[in-house]
Structure 1
Amino acid sequence: MKIMVTGGCGFIGSNFIKYLLTDPEVTEEIKILNVDSITYAGQGRNIEHMYKESKNQKFLTNYKFIRVDICDFHSIDIIIKKFSPDCIVNFAAESHNSYAILNPTVFFKTNLLGTQNLLEAARKNNVGRFHHISTCEVYGDLDLKSKKKFTETTSYKPNTPYNASKAAADLAVRAYFKTFNLPITISNCSNNYGSYQFPEKLIPLFVTNLLENKKIPLYKNSQNKREWIHVLDHCKAIYKILKNGKVGETYNVGTGVEKSIEEITTIILKYLNMPETMKEYVPDRPSHDRRYLLDSKKIMKELKWKPAINFETGMKETIEWYKNNKIWWLSLKEKTLIQENKWGVKRDKNQNESK
């Protein structure tokens, strides 16, 4: 199988490539073309580091990389025509909610217009499958005390520019299926954690700050809850969808494991034997969603997927990875674009009190 991966230098994309090339569960021969523009959060050295870790020769024989922005339709069209992939898996996205508040235009350009470029090039070149990676955040948020879950038929109610850009991209993907009969699938996943996550995201930010003996910034509404999935479980779900998913369908990918930001903080502090005084509360960001929780029965029942990595085990392995790979993340922290306590966004002072 020939797979074109867009955004394969990012956290989830690079882990997906590693999974396809090194995991014994993947028995078929797979050729991968990674197309990435290498933004500040996309690291070309992820793949290099993974190769050095695994020593797997498939990184040399079955993998190629091209640096191209998905917003460049002409280049994308030529690449697809030459590589002739059996499927495209689209990870390419700007993904930091906080940055989206400061610069929403970049998010709509990449996440919506870039995705539409890929769809059009895939349609033009008769690609056999287009799989789009999306997020649980397109559904909006849930009350902290609610017993509801998001299903694949839940209406979209995005609350931030990032969420809206991903929701719009999802709808564009569906439109290409309905209008042009492009064979597509979509997956909406919960919050990922694991190795190689850029250190501006919550878990690696907190871990690396503590390893540098720096305080960790918590929003005042840190009781907000998220559903957590190890990136390897997510990668396995994507592969299941590619192999057995029904064209035109959407699949939620979650674990049912909910933890508040305070709970995550406590786990990290306890594991690293650090005091509560390392916490520093900062002003909340605008439109901070309270809670996400996915109903993932569909993928579990129809495709026989289920998460395999226990949350406590996964967290320990993740923390240890950052402890042992300071050379990977130390210089990256200088590239972080967000100062969490400086928004410059005017809003009603009570806007987030109910959230």
Structure 2
Amino acid sequence: MRILVTGGAGFIGSEFVRRWLTSEPTAHVTVLDKLTYSGVEENLASVARHPGYRFVRGDVCDPDVVDQVTAGQDAVVHFAAESHVDRSITGAGPFVHTNVVGTQVLLDAALRHRVGRFLQVSTDEVYGSISEGSWTEEWPLAPSSPYSASKAAADLLVLACHRTHGMDVVVTRCTNNYGPHQFPEKVVPLFITNLLDGKNVPLYGDGRHIRDWLHVSDHCQGIELVLRGGRSGEVYNIGGGTEVSNHKLTGLLLDAVGADWDRVTYVADRKGHDLRYSLDDSKIREQLGYAPRFPFAEGLAATVAWYRDSRSWWEPLKTGGARG
């Protein structure tokens, strides 16, 4: 199978590429990545010599580049996105451009070249916030931030392409990811690296916001299952099964590095901050056999250990150093 992976040098995309090429010796994967601040080509070093691997530096919003890399592909797995909520609140333009326009550029190319399957990697944030129960795939979309609104728009474009043109599309929506190689602006790597450096960590509000946590490897397992066996035109939620408040998560990370609560700085809450995310992922479990493999405590401990041992990876990113 020939696969185009957009955003394949990022946190989740690179995990998918490494897993796919390791398990599929005859696979062909083309990675398209602009290498913005959070894209690190080094994330793909372990598979760079795989005979089926090709890296193209380019923008998903560039029709010419996208057309070239889409030709001859059997599938597109679309990770490329602006994804940091805080950045979207202070400047929504790049999120709309990359997440909405970029998705449409890819869809147009996939239609022209008759790509076999288009998988849109999305987020649970498109559903908004839920105080009780869990979202099913049929839940109405109610995004709260420019980031989540742009992802919701992209999802709808993908699904509309199925209804209008009969394109074989699938959409996955995941909960909060954690694990190695995550850019240190997101809460888990930000807190770990700050604490390892002896710095304080910023906790929004009173820390009561609840998230369901999913190890990046389990997320990519779910994506693989949907890519291979998901029903065309369907959405699949991918959950981790571990709901934790930000306050509790902070305590776990403090304990993991031997720090006290005096290292926590309480900051004003984020605008439009969703209180709770919770996915019902029974559909992917029952239809495709998905089951998370990483217990949260074990996965979090391994993640802390990875950042402790990988200063050479994250220190340049936090200081703004250039990375290839």
1:201 partnered with 2:201: no
1:1-355, aligned counterparts within 5 Å? 1-22=1-22, 26-27=23-24, 29-48=26-45, 51=46, 59-81=49-71, 84-143=72-131, 146=132, 148-335=133-320
Is the Cα contact below 8 Å between 1:134 and 1:166 reproduced in 2? yes
Is the Cα contact below 8 Å between 1:21 and 1:59 reproduced in 2? no
Cα-to-partner distance string for 1:174-231 (whole Å, 9 max, x where unaligned): 0100001111000000000000000010000000001000000111141100000000
The amino acid of 2:27's aligned partner reads: I
The amino acid of 1:47's aligned partner reads: L
Deviates more, 1:294-303 or 1:281-290: 281-290
The 4+ residue runs of structure 1 with deviation greater than 3 A are: none
Deviates more, 1:238-247 or 1:27-36: 27-36
Is the Cα contact below 8 Å between 2:215 and 2:240 reproduced in 1? no
Q: Which residue of 2 aligns with 1:352?
A: none
For the residues of structure 2 that align with 1:28 and 1:177, how far apart are their CA atoms? 31
Quote the offset at 1:28 in angstroms. Answer: 6.2
For the residues of structure 1 that align with 2:52 and 2:41, how far apart are their CA atoms? 17
2:319 match: secondary structure: helix
List alignment gaps of at least 5 residues for structure 2.
Answer: none
Cα-to-partner distance string for 1:284-317 (whole Å, 9 max, x where unaligned): 1110110000000000000011101110000000
* TM-score between both structures, scaled by the size of structure 2: 0.97
Q: Which residue of 2 aligns with 1:343?
A: none
For the residues of structure 2 that align with 1:75 and 1:314, how far apart are their CA atoms? 37
For the residues of structure 1 that align with 2:135 and 2:49, how far apart are their CA atoms? 37
The amino acid of 1:189's aligned partner reads: C
Is the Cα contact below 8 Å between 2:4 and 2:69 reproduced in 1? no
1:307 match: secondary structure: coil
Q: How many pairs are equivalent?
A: 321
For the residues of structure 2 that align with 1:254 and 1:70, how far apart are their CA atoms? 27
1:123 match: secondary structure: helix
Quote the offset at 1:334 in angstroms. Answer: 2.3
Quote the offset at 1:335 in angstroms. Answer: 3.5
1:61 match: secondary structure: coil
For the residues of structure 2 that align with 1:115 and 1:16, how far apart are their CA atoms? 19
List alignment gaps of at least 5 residues for structure 1.
Answer: 337-355
For the residues of structure 2 that align with 1:333 and 1:280, how far apart are their CA atoms? 19
1:114 match: secondary structure: helix
* TM-score between both structures, scaled by the size of structure 1: 0.89
2:153 match: secondary structure: helix
RMSD: 1.2
Cα-to-partner distance string for 1:333-355 (whole Å, 9 max, x where unaligned): 1239xxxxxxxxxxxxxxxxxxx
1:330 match: secondary structure: helix
